[in-house]
A = this chain, B = another copy of it.
Amino acid sequence: MADLGTIADELVARQGHLSLQYGAGQGTPELRDAVCSVMAADGIAGADPEHVVITPGSQAAIDTAARMLGNPGDVVVVEDPTFVGALNTFNTWELDAVSTPTDEEGLIPALLHTTLQQLRAAGRRVAFLYTIPSYANPSGALMPAERREEVARICREEDVLIVEDNAYGQLGFEDGPVAPIAAAHRDQVIYLGTVSKIFSPGVRIGWALVPPALLREFYLSAESAFVCPPVFSQMLSTAFLTRFDWQAHVARCAAEYALRCDALVDEMEQSLDPRVTWTRPAGGFFVWSRMPDGLDTLPLMHAAAEAGVVFVPGGAFTPDAGPHPHFRLAFSFVAPEALREGVRRLAPVLNGALPGNP
Contacts and interface: CB of A to CB of B under 8 A. Distances in A.
Interface of A: 1-2, 4-14, 16, 18-23, 56-57, 59-60, 63, 67, 72, 85, 88-89, 91-92, 94, 199-204, 220-221, 223-233, 236
Contacts of A233: 230, 232-233
B20 A200 contact: yes
Contacts of A18: 202
A220 B85 CA distance: 11
B9 A92 contact: no
Main DSSP-derived SS at the A contact region: helix
B226 A60 contact: yes
A11 B8 CA distance: 9
A23 B196 CA distance: 12
Nearest to A234: B202
A271 to B, nearest CB: 29
B20 A14 contact: no
Contacts of A88: 220, 223-224
A11 B57 CA distance: 20
Given A7-B12, A59-B225, A230-B230, 9 more contacts: A5-B9, A5-B14, A9-B9, A20-B201, A72-B94, A88-B224, A89-B225, A202-B231, A232-B232
Contacts of A21: 200-202
Contact of A204 (B7, B56, B220): B56
Given A202-B19, A202-B22, A225 B9 contact: no
